[in-house]
Amino acid sequence: MKKTALLATVLAACIPATALANPVLLISIDGLRPGDVLDADKRGLSLPNLRRFVTQGAHASGVTGVLPTLTYPSHTTLMTGVTPARHGIVANNSFDPTGINQGGWYWYAQDIKVPTLWEAATRAGLSTGNIHWPVSVAAKGVTWNLPQIWRTGHADDAKLIDALATPGLKAELEAKVGAPYAMGIDESLPGDQLRGRFATALIAAHKPQFLTVYLTALDHEQHAMGPDTPAARAVLEKIDAIVGDLVAAEMQAHPDAVIALVSDHGFEATQTAINLYRPFIDAGLITLDKDGKVASWLAMPWISGGSTAIMLARPDDAALAVRVKALLDTLAANPANGIVRIADKAQIAAMGGNPQATYYINLTPGYVTDIYRGPTAPVVARSPVKGMHGYFPGPANLRATFMVMGKGVARDKDLGLIDMRAIAPTLAKVMGASLPDADAEALPLQP
């Protein structure tokens, strides 16, 4: 018996640490504010599955996000533990001053400049999966991948997913679910419910040891109707049921799993839109052709919801930078334009924002930057949306969510206000993996 016990001890010591680590399910609810869960009863919300994370696990009182507080930059920080300046996903849409990319987004993981949690998990010997996570097309380290991408909503978009997903995975899961996979452009509640079913089918079929799942309907509803509205609350309560199904499936597949739930940003209610293109056109910084399309430019807004990066065609042209700053100062001097801050390159760098931008404008809550609507569109108009994010990080309304429960995680533990960059190294540590390039240390989740 003594020899057997000694042999068992030696063998255990030889097993890599990752073999003893916890599987992780990472769920993102786009636009979920911490108070929606922490103060659910006060807000009249029935969220039994989300509330479990608070009572049975650890949670942050809030998560300070990145510049800008947008979906794609934030989700990439959640996967890497570094700022947009370092990981390279500095906006939702790629910079496209002449519109040739037709509204293309940062869909492609090859644009990420640092290692991700998928890669860290793979290096640790874990299998991985993904359902619809932003910036996941051709992501390294994903064993079973249904990436997020769309073009027009045409039926050909389904073929695009077929071509870019793990070969055969979409058809396999469609057969198990008994329904076609949701189109990438579909941000509705039924789209989330369908993706939830595909995620549970993936868990049952392949048991990935690290799985990312992204749900988007709450963000969509808050843009359309505003945050903390009856419509948004109703959608969140339905998403709560999706989360319950995902947790149940994961615990059945991996009783020792740790389940993390995150969001990318909060929300501000909006009423007013500022069109920065019009003053840039009027100042001769943007030149249009006879059809009203951009023919050339010296300076261009790169909009990000409640903030805007200002790009120069010649970034080293000091005279051009002075000319643009004078225009921005004039706009900011008028309170009707809603500009509360103009950050320069040094200030942008300190916030970890777009290193290509010469200036970055932040708007007051209630204002959004509008898309280009032609040369005669007014500078100030009614906002086309009732809720927005993308502002500079920091304010309480823009804080994101982090909650985690499972094996080895303390119960009813308040982590306080945390930095979004701490989440990825925390989850890497749970999996027995590492992200040495992360900007922050792992959070203490143990009792």
What is the full DSSP assignment across 235-278? Answer: HHHHHHHHHHHHHHHHHHH-TT-EEEEE-S---EE--EEE-SHH
**Do 258 and 401 sit in the same domain of this protein?**
yes
Structural domain contains residue 14: no
Across the range 2-16, mean pLDDT stands at 37
Across the range 361-380, mean pLDDT stands at 95
**Do 190 and 100 sit in the same domain of this protein?**
yes
Across the range 359-381, mean pLDDT stands at 95
Average pLDDT, the chain: 95
**Do 259 and 344 sit in the same domain of this protein?**
no
pLDDT for res 399: 98
**Do 421 and 369 sit in the same domain of this protein?**
no
**Do 276 and 379 sit in the same domain of this protein?**
yes
pLDDT for res 445: 96
pTM of the predicted protein model: 0.94
| Nearest-angstrom CA–CA distance, 360 and 156 | 37
Q: What is the pLDDT of residues 214-253, one digit of tens each?
A: 999 999 999 999 999 999 999 999 999 999 999 999 999 9
- Yes or no: say if 31 and 265 are a contact pair by the CB < 8 Å rule: yes
Indicate which CATH number applies to the domain containing 296.
3.30.1360
Domain count, the chain: 2
Residue 6 has pLDDT above 80, yes or no: no
**Do 237 and 372 sit in the same domain of this protein?**
no
Among residues 384, 407, 439, the one where a domain terminates is: 384
**Three-state DSSP class for 124?**
coil
Q: Give the confidence band of 4 by pLDDT, cuts at 50, 70, 90.
A: very low
**Do 136 and 233 sit in the same domain of this protein?**
yes
**Do 85 and 229 sit in the same domain of this protein?**
yes
Q: What is the pLDDT of residues 151-162, one digit of tens each?
A: 999 999 999 999
* Tokens at 402, concatenated: 């982090």
pLDDT for res 447: 87
Structural domain contains residue 153: yes
* Tokens at 397, concatenated: 């309304």
Residue 15 has pLDDT above 90, yes or no: no
**Do 209 and 341 sit in the same domain of this protein?**
no
**Three-state DSSP class for 205?**
helix
Structural domain contains residue 237: yes
Structural domain contains residue 1: no
pLDDT for res 245: 98
Indicate which CATH number applies to the domain containing 67.
3.40.720.10
Strand partners of residue 359: 310
- The percentage of residues in the chain with a pLDDT greater than 90, rounded to a whole number, is 94
Structural domain contains residue 5: no
Using alpha carbons, select from 135, 134, 91 the residue that is nearest to residue 111. 135
Structural domain contains residue 316: yes
Structural domain contains residue 442: no
Q: What is the pLDDT of residues 157-198, one digit of tens each?
A: 999 999 999 999 999 999 999 999 999 999 999 999 999 999
Alpha helices in 376-445 (DSSP H): 423-430
**Do 414 and 302 sit in the same domain of this protein?**
no
Q: Give the confidence band of 18 by pLDDT, cuts at 50, 70, 90.
A: very low
Across the range 129-135, mean pLDDT stands at 98
Q: Give the confidence band of 7 by pLDDT, cuts at 50, 70, 90.
A: very low
pLDDT for res 49: 98
**Do 109 and 171 sit in the same domain of this protein?**
yes
**Do 227 and 326 sit in the same domain of this protein?**
no
Structural domain contains residue 338: yes
Residue 115 Cα distances to 7, 125, 320, 425, 436, angstroms: 37, 15, 36, 11, 9
Using alpha carbons, select from 28, 74, 56, 70 the residue that is nearest to residue 199. 28
Q: Which structural domain range is residue 126 located in?
A: 21-268+395-430
